[in-house]
Structure 1
Amino acid sequence: MSALFLIALFCTALLFGGMAFFAALIAPLVFRLLPAEMAGRFIRGLFPAYYIWVLATSAAACVALFPLSKLDAGIMAAVAGLTVFLRQVLMPRINALSDRVKAGDASARRGFDTGHRLSVAANLLQMVAAGVVLAGFVF
Structure 2
Amino acid sequence: MNLSLGFHVIAGFALALAFGGMTFFSAVMAPLVFTKLPFETAGGFIRQVFPWYYLTIGGVSVVAALALLFAGESLGALLAALVAVGFWLARQVLMPRINAARDAGEDATFNRLHRVSVVINGAQWLLLAAALVMVLV
Q: TM-score, normalised by structure 2?
A: 0.94
Q: Hey, what does 1:135 align to over in structure 2? A: 133
Q: Hey, what does 1:59 align to over in structure 2? A: 62
1:132 Cα deviation after fit: 0.9
Amino acid of the structure 1 residue aligned with 2:83: V
How high is the sequence identity, in percent, across the aligned residues? Answer: 44
Question: Match of 1:112, SS?
Answer: helix
1:93 Cα deviation after fit: 0.4
- What CA RMSD, in Å, does the superposition of the two structures yield over aligned residues? 0.9
Structure 2: distance between partners of 1:82 and 1:21: 19
Query: How many residues are matched?
Result: 133
Amino acid of the structure 1 residue aligned with 2:46: I
From 93, 96, 99, give the equivalent of 2:97: 93
1:137 Cα deviation after fit: 2.3
Task: Show structure 2 runs of 5+ residues with no match.
Answer: none
Structure 2: distance between partners of 1:137 and 1:69: 9
Task: Show structure 1 runs of 5+ residues with no match.
Answer: 102-107
1:138 Cα deviation after fit: 2.5
Amino acid of the structure 1 residue aligned with 2:111: D
Amino acid of the structure 2 residue aligned with 1:14: L
Render the CA deviation track for 1:66-104: whole Å, top value 9, x for unaligned. Answer: 032101101111111111110000000000100011xxx
1:131 Cα deviation after fit: 0.7
Aligned runs of 1:67-86 on 2, under 5 Å? Answer: 67=70, 68-86=72-90
Tell me if the contact between 2:62 and 2:84 (Cα under 8 Å) persists in the aligned partners: yes
